[in-house]
Chain A
Amino acid sequence: MRVSFEWLKDFVSISATPEEVSHSLTMAGLEVEGIDTSVGGDSVFEVNVTPNRPDCLSILGIAREVAAAYRLPLEMPGDDIQGDLPASDIRVEILNPELCHRYTGRLIKGVTISGSPEWLKNRLEKCGIRSLNNNIVDITNYVLLEMGHPLHAFDADKLSGSVIKVSKAGKKRSITTLDGIERELSGDSLLIMDAKKTLALAGVMGGEDSSVTSGTRNIFLESAFFAPVSVRRTSKELGLRTESSYRFERGTDIEFLENALNRAALLIRETGGGIIHEIVDVYPEKFKPATIEVNYARVNALLGVKLEKGEMLKSLERIGIVVEDRGEVFHAFPPAFRRDITGHIDIVEEIARTFGYGNIPARLPKTILSGGVLNHRERGINRIRETVRKTGFNEVINYSFMSPSDLDMISIPVGDIRRRHLSLRNPLKQEDSLMRTTLIPALINNFAYNFSMGARDIRLFEISKIFIAETDRLPTEGLRMGGIFYRENIPSLWKESAQAFFIVKGALQSLFEEMKLGGYTFVPSEEVFLHRGKSADIELKGTKAGFIGELVPDIAESLNLKVRKPEIIVFELNIDTILAFLPERLTYRHVPKYPFIERDIAIIIDDSLTAAWVMDVINSFRSEFIETVEIFDCYKGGNIPAGRKSLAFRIIYRSGERTLTDNEVESVHRELLEYVLEKTGGELRYRT
């Protein structure tokens, strides 16, 4: 809210500078976010008023806080209407007293509608409201800014039956509001009506039909209290927020609304003449202040201070709260403008606020010791993130949203669980209207973006949640790690000959080894967006934990990279699965102390046999002396016949109990060789 410093001085004779006052307000909980000094010699504060303090949505409210902070008296403008007044011709009936707790009004006859005086226009405009060249409307706005109470003026001659009824719509109705828009109203909206028609949306906006125009002579000025929830619902329903609804939905001062009415009536008479009539005041249930019991010791304990009784009570009195000392406790009676104060903790806050947060000492809590260790899951995720980044991948973070076209881009089949996505009701834009069920589309976008920026060695990964819709409960949230890899085939200083697929597979293997995850296998994948010949599902002890593979050519082509056959590798791992398979505890194994003997074999076999299968064959040969088997060459072409390939393995022999002799090893090695050749149907290429 914009608060003019010069206007504030009408209420409190302050000698401090605008900067000093701004600081005091900020430290009292009314944050001044900026001071506008561009308005003709005045300083206008931009005050951030929190939703609990509607009493501060006015010059008067801010002045009250300034007066309390500087311990100065509050000076109120005169609102006493002198003399014998004619009785009002207009009756008021409140049909829904639960939604309208008080309704006052004054008829003013013989008013001249004109422009407003300069000083008034000036103040309105400084505070952000445009003068409408209509003194009546301008004055209602002026009093709204000054007193915080929304008023409304009707053209009294446009009222049927000399009656104002405050009532729920009851059925669907429509009204054309002041802004010229015809609006449909639900039966629950609270309306101001006359004998025949709807005059206004209570607390939100007046109707066009009964509005004050340049030809208006007689007006009926309304000042009422509407229940916050009712105004908020109507305003939300219609998407119509006004200065008036903003204040009513936060809560207005039911006692003070009469003063606001009088203040406006006097200003109208001052600028436009006219005869003010007697007040109409329907106030079915009078305001009774709440009684709040507060324990002195509890206040000190909660704040960590040692305030004397008198200090507490005085600070409350200064902000308008009536107090009564009752020994161990005191009773507080908050005024009508502080409806936010309902319980003892609210009083604690007021004491803290007026005492000054800066005056409360800082101390470290006496508390039981706790472990203070990152939990198992958190540590696991950290290690995964650290390991993957050390294989050269940069971490990205994408929004959790996806576009409806994303799943089609990667051809996720109908019926796939990733089609069970959540939709946002109110997305910012259509491309961000679904919650992600896979990280891959966003990573493809990250890749394309970086490619377009000239990057040619792109390694990105992300660890984020995906969301699968469920019926009748919250969605399943799963933690995934996705990645994308692309490297242009350009000459480099140190030749790295591995194919893209194996570079990424190697990164994942580094991860699995680092995490001590045994028993992982790469098996053919059925993901339709992956190249059939260059993709794999990753299984951990038989459970699918993710996939890796090259994007199928049509997706790669759709990115328009102008590169022939780009090899873009993506992967996605289910982190929840990986964490579930992490070993609970490691146990030390003896380090062998006897020497090893190394033997190689190379065999020529059918090309359709996989390395993993041959490895399994070798591992199925039982010998206590085989320590490790490692594949070190895979070769096709040259003198190897078409349809066949050469695989070479290095076998380390070692005994845990003694030094093996060459002869012993030779005999085992020969048996192994025969076994492998027989099982694979291969032929020996060479051996050592």
Chain B
Amino acid sequence: MDDLFSLKKAFLEEIGSVDDLAGLQLVRTKYSGKKGLIRARLRDLSSIPPDKRPLYGSTLNDIKNFIEETIRNRELIFKTREKEQRLETEKLDITLPGNFTPFGRRHPVNQILSEIKDIFVSMGFSIEDGPEVENDYYNFEALNIPKDHPARDMQDTFYISDDIVLRTHTSPVQVRVMEKRDPPLKIISPGKVYRCDSDVSHTAMFHQVEGLMVDTGISFSDLKGVLELFIHSLFGADTPVRFRPSYFPFTEPSAEIDIGCIFCSGSGCGVCKTTGWIEILGAGLVNPKVFEMVGYNTSEYSGFAFGMGVERITMLRYSIDDIRLLYENDARFLNQF
């Protein structure tokens, strides 16, 4: 039995001087390894006289458990200590910038264009595309703007030839769709349009979204409902909206739609020319002459059409005071959106 107590004593001495995990591993191998001292004692158990064997055995077992538990405890302490050391020493200057390539930005006009499309798409409108270089017929005549009509002065047109123009609005897309499909129709036609005009509020190219809804029983009241919903979705539910009479050859009755000036809240400023209102959309019931051109039955169907300039809305949204900034493509400008 004495050898067992001296074994324990020796163990306690040794482990007392161990200071790290490596040293601990050596002690573990020496005492509780497969070829360790404990195993050796167990193998020699048969050499102990039978009457002393039970007591010797249980003492040996206690010592074995004690040694293993002590080692485990020390191990836990060392591991904790080592972890603490790593956490303390492996220190980054977390204020250094991360490694990344900043995302590019969508052009602000395309961002607003997306918003507009999303609103109409959520109302069940589908998106239609058409040529930017158009026949005079689709751009004007089919929209009740014959040659020699003063309404042609409303849009300064780029000509390729006598009969081919750069579209001045996206309405020709509506005519093309109506020629191909019967009502009911709910479409928008977004895209680039062209007018030979250039100053702080006009560029020779800009973007429009025009829309068309045709069905039985469509009224001016529906037009108001849809466009009010659109404006409230885009500018906020509190935005004041007003409809006033205007003129477009392809709609009748025609309307221009103003929103309460978002800069001065209607009290009058430079942007709204002191009127408190900003024009945002043109619209109206589709002129029966347009329906006749595409062969729709005007006593059965009615519809409304509307159109807006995307640049203008973009400028209002971001308080941009010169439309040409949108086409300078200066990264310092583009990065802001």
Contacts and interface: CB of A to CB of B under 8 A. Distances in A.
Given A367-B124, A424-B159, A397 B110 contact: yes
Given A33-B273, A370-B126, A382-B114, A428 B133 contact: no
A422 interface: yes
Of residues A228, A229, A305, A396, which shows the largest number of chain B Cβ atoms within 10 Å of its Cβ?
A396
Nearest to B329: A396
Given A352-B253, A358-B243, A389-B104, A458 B331 contact: yes
A31 interface: yes
B330 A345 contact: no
B104 A375 contact: no
A319 B241 CA distance: 27
A680 interface: no
Interface stretch (A10-18, A216-224, A445-453): A445-453
B246 A345 contact: no
Contact of A375 (B114, B126, B135): B126
Contact of B125 (A250, A372, A394): A372
A374 interface: yes
B93 to A, nearest CB: 11
A54 B124 CA distance: 40
B323 interface: no
Contacts of A358: 242-243
B240 to A, nearest CB: 11
A397 B122 CA distance: 26
A388 interface: yes
A400 B221 contact: no
B158 interface: yes
Interface stretch (B32-40, B43-51, B160-168): B160-168
Contacts of B103: 389-390, 392
B148 interface: yes
Query: Which of A52, A250, A367, A459 has its CB near the most chain B CB atoms (within 10 A)?
Result: A367
A461 B104 contact: yes
Interface stretch (B11-19, B61-69, B149-157): B149-157
Contacts of B184: 367-368
A474 B161 contact: no
Main secondary structure of the interface of B (DSSP, over half): mixed
Interface string B182-203: 0010100000101010100001
A345 B252 contact: yes
A128 B117 CA distance: 44
Contacts of A391: 101, 104
Interface stretch (A22-30, A550-558, A624-632): A22-30
Contacts of B218: 365
Given A357-B243, A392-B104, A397 B256 contact: no
B25 interface: no
A57 to B, nearest CB: 11
Nearest to B244: A27
Contacts of A345: 252-253, 285, 287-288
Interface in B192-237: 192, 194, 196, 198, 203-205, 213, 215, 217-222, 224-226, 228-229
Q: Which residue among A343, A358, A364, A368 has the maximum number of chain B CB atoms within 10 Å of its CB?
A: A364
A31 to B, nearest CB: 7
A51 interface: yes
B75 interface: no
Given A357-B243, A361-B221, A365-B218, A399 B160 contact: no
A117 interface: no
B76 interface: no
A537 B197 CA distance: 39
A475 B133 CA distance: 7
A360 interface: yes
A53 interface: yes
B134 A460 contact: no
A469 B149 CA distance: 29
A374 B117 contact: yes
A397 B245 contact: no
A304 B221 contact: yes
Contact of A388 (B96, B104, B161): B104
B225 to A, nearest CB: 4
A493 interface: yes
Contacts of A52: 151, 247
Contact of B121 (A365, A372, A400, A477): A372
B104 A467 contact: no
Contacts of A426: 158-159, 196
A369 B302 CA distance: 18
7 contacts: A51-B151, A301-B302, A349-B252, A363-B222, A367-B215, A425-B159, A474-B135
The 4 A-B residue pairs with the shortest CB-CB distance, nearest first, are A304-B221, A29-B245, A50-B247, A304-B219
Given A26-B244, A400-B194, 4 more contacts: A52-B151, A363-B221, A399-B327, A477-B133
Interface of A: 26-29, 31, 33-34, 50-53, 228-229, 232-233, 249-250, 301-305, 343, 345-346, 348-349, 352-353, 357-358, 360-375, 377-378, 382, 385-386, 388-401, 422-428, 432, 435, 446, 449-450, 453, 455, 458-461, 464-465, 467, 474-475, 477, 493-494
